[in-house]
Amino acid sequence: MNEVLIAIKDLKKQFENEEVITKVLYGIDLEIRKGEFLAIMGPSGSGKSTLMHILGFLDTLSSGKYFFAGLDVSELEDIELAAMRSKQIGFIFQSFNLLPKSTVLENVMLPLFYSNVSKKQRIKKALEAIESVGLSHRTNNLSNQLSGGEKQRVAIARALVNDPSVIFADEPTGNLDSKSGLQVMKIIQDLNLKHGHTVILVTHESDTANYADRIINMKDGLIIKDEKNKNRVFADENQELKK
């Protein structure tokens, strides 16, 4: 069985604004193994996005422990978390988060500017990532010239360019039509099945979650269900992704 990549123990998170304390996560225990495809589901306000932000080093926990590949990251400073994030994590967001007046190549290269990689090597790695999502013919297009589905595929290429340990996908089909959404889910599922990437998908849609091999459900800052997905589906570009 694959090794444990992520382990959190009694993780709690609260936000403080002057004298107002808002509790969001109430004590979560979770293990994610290398190579898993995990979907995190729950209604708005359930804490799923906050959990993803902590797991992806975008935010810090209030109490508890977080181990990543055996390293206790609970006490790391912001600069250390940023270094972990740039080396270990790839993000795919619902809103794409591309630079509109930059080319596809420039957008995909962006994470490499913070690494010790030569410009020649940056270009090479970015072109390989663009090719892997089937957009080589769009390399020199500005991102604001692309369709929604193409923008999301650029975002996937950007997430891959650093060869991360984990890919986080936050509502990756939320802004897409069914056909484009299915293409995106096929790429994400192939990253897991064919290339062995650990994928953590955040969604409120059961049809999208069903591409994962394990689903956890959250409610009111707690995990209320964690089980293998017996209804897993496999992306076929001839299907329709239900919205």
The model's pLDDT over 21-74, given as tens digits with 9 standing for 90+, comes to 999 999 999 999 999 999 999 998 899 999 999 999 999 999 999 999 999 998
This prediction has a pTM of: 0.91
Count Cα neighbours of 157 within 13 Å in the Cβ-side half-sphere.
33
How much is the average pLDDT of 70-98? 90
Model pLDDT, residue 142: 96
Residue 7 scores a pLDDT above 90: yes
> Average model confidence (pLDDT) for the chain?
92
Model pLDDT, residue 243: 43
Q: How confident is the model at residue 1 (pLDDT cuts 50, 70, 90)?
A: low
Residue 237 scores a pLDDT above 60: no
Gap between the Cα atoms of 32 and 43, Å rounded = 22
Residue 114 scores a pLDDT above 80: no
How much is the average pLDDT of 190-205? 93
Gap between the Cα atoms of 156 and 191, Å rounded = 10
Backbone phi, then psi, for 234, in 5-degree steps? Answer: -120, 130
Residues 6+ apart with CB under 8 A from 242: 178, 205, 207
Residue 238 scores a pLDDT above 60: no
Q: Which two tokens stand for residue 216?
A: 């956890």
How much is the average pLDDT of 93-116? 90
User: What is the share, in percent, of the chain residues with pLDDT greater than 70?
Assistant: 97
Gap between the Cα atoms of 126 and 121, Å rounded = 8
The model's pLDDT over 152-173, given as tens digits with 9 standing for 90+, comes to 999 999 999 999 999 999 999 9
